[in-house]
């Protein structure tokens, strides 16, 4: 009977009823660090085992190599890639293995430089202040709609060279495609249809934008990729797939990070008081949010060989769910793992993944979260949640509130 319960736990994680609090399910899963969940999927829930597999070259990010052929990230990789025909379909680089992944990531990082990130960061505080000032004279705000969404969208548009006025066009496409990061069994037929419709529309939009930037290059990442004359550079379909990935991942996850962070602060008034008393504490506090309630809950992989781990043999071609959020709550690695501690030290969380696929945008996401959460803590007087739990977005893998309404006495 215990084995039967274990097999059904990951399905319960995917169930929308679990979205407000999947952490009790993760605790049960950690009792069996590597547990078979259905026919060909294995859930890995403990820190040491997750880290081991993140760095194991026998574990693939290209789920086209799985026996089922239905891995969640394989589906998203295809949807975010190019179109058939002269622009051959190519997955974005996070859905590829070395050496293809490494080549494309090197090219991105050659242009996504610390200097470019610092330039964006220099006016982050003014962007946050401008967004918060719009709530002056009010007694409430939706942290998602008023700050957590518009901030990273503005930043990613500036970084990539996407016109900010086009946000209403790509908002729906991005949401539909991000939803496919969940395993297929977690998606409705309508969600699959929406994603399949969004993919060619986003692709066509990016092809047109690339044409404009090729004719009139600017100081942005798309222009840099298009005008790259290095020996190692991307072709057209690779640029489009990379742009689709960065446009979606560059804001969807940061929205969740900011919203999850504010929700966590308000649920922990002692921690909130510490942050008010010591604004510099926002730096480790953001790291603690990434551990305690991360925007990316899990990633899926495929095994390229039989792998023995934690007394279990994961067969070649199996899908593997690396439960990053569970690993970051593993008490064997983090003392008081279920306690939010904004001053926590030795916080090697899994909030940005690990291994060769460690999040490309981590430095920028940290700057955005520190600026947004620091300003919310410092400027909202008497903040209170309007609803707890708040309504959540559908996605289990990219988990965060759909709305986060906060009442307050006044805005400083």
Q: Could you tell me the CATH number of the domain that includes residue 259?
A: 1.10.630.10
Domains held by the chain: number: 1
Nearest to 343 by CA among 278, 264, 260, 412: 278
pLDDT in tens, 161-179: 999 999 998 899 999 999 8
Stated pTM of the model:
0.93
Domain that holds residue 20: 2-411
**What's 146's DSSP letter?**
I
With 50 as the cut, is the pLDDT of residue 190 above it? yes
Residue range 218-235: mean pLDDT, rounded: 95
**Residue carrying structure tokens 């969208």:** 153
Written in H, E and C, the secondary structure of 209-260 is HHHHHHHCCCCCHHHHHHCCCCCCCCCHHHHHHHHHHHHHHHHHHHHHHHHH
Q: What is the pLDDT of residue 83?
A: 43
CA distance 318 to 314: 7
Beta-strand relationship, 319-322 and 41-44: parallel
Two tokens at 237? 């379909």
Q: Are the beta carbons of 71 and 319 closer than 8 angstroms?
A: yes
Residue 383's Cβ-count burial label (10 Å; 0-12, 13-18, 19+) is: buried
- Beta bridge partners, 154, equal none
Residue range 137-151: mean pLDDT, rounded: 97
Mean pLDDT for all residues in the chain: 91
pLDDT in tens, 320-366: 999 999 999 999 999 999 999 999 999 999 999 999 999 999 999 99
CA distance 86 to 130: 44
Nearest to 242 by CA among 168, 159, 304: 159
């Amino acid at each position: 009977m215990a084995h039967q319960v274990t097999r059904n736990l990951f399905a319960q994680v995917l169930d929308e009823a679990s979205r407000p609090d999947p952490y009790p399910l993760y605790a049960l899963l950690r009792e069996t660090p590597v547990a078979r969940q259905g026919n060909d999927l294995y859930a890995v829930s403990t820190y040491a085992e997750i880290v081991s597999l993140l760095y194991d070259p026998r574990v693939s990010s290209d789920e086209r190599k799985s026996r089922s052929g239905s891995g969640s990230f394989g589906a998203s990789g295809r949807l975010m890639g190019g179109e058939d025909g002269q622009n051959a379909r190519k997955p974005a680089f996070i859905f590829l293995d070395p050496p293809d992944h490494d080549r494309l990531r090197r090219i991105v990082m050659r242009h996504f430089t610390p200097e470019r990130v610092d330039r964006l960061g220099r006016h982050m505080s003014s962007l946050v202040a401008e967004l918060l000032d719009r709530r002056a004279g009010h007694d409430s705000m939706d942290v998602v709609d008023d700050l957590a969404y518009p901030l990273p969208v503005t930043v990613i548009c500036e970084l990539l060279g996407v016109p900010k006025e086009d946000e209403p066009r790509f908002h729906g496409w991005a949401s539909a495609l991000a939803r496919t990061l969940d395993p297929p069994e977690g998606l409705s037929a309508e969600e699959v249809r929406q994603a399949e419709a969004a993919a060619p529309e986003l692709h066509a939009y990016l092809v047109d934008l690339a044409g404009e930037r090729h004719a009139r290059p600017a100081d942005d990442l798309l222009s840099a990729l298009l005008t790259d004359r290095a020996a190692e550079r991307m072709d057209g379909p690779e640029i489009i797939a990379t742009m689709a990935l960065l446009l979606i991942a560059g804001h969807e996850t940061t929205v969740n990070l900011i919203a999850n962070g504010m929700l966590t602060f308000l649920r922990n008034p002692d921690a909130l008081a510490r942050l008010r008393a010591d604004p510099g504490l926002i730096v480790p506090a953001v790291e603690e949010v990434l551990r305690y309630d991360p925007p990316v809950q899990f990633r899926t992989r495929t095994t390229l060989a039989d792998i023995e781990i934690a007394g279990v043999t994961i067969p070649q071609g199996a899908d593997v769910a690396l439960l990053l959020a569970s690993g970051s709550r593993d008490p064997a690695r983090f003392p008081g793992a279920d306690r939010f501690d904004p001053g926590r030290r030795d916080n090697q969380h899994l909030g940005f993944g690990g291994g060769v696929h460690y999040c490309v945008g981590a430095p920028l996401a940290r700057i955005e979260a520190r600026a947004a959460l620091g300003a919310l803590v410092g400027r909202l007087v008497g903040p209170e949640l309007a609803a707890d739990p708040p309504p959540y977005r559908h996605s289990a893998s990219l988990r965060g509130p759909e709305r986060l309404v906060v009442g307050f006495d006044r805005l400083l």
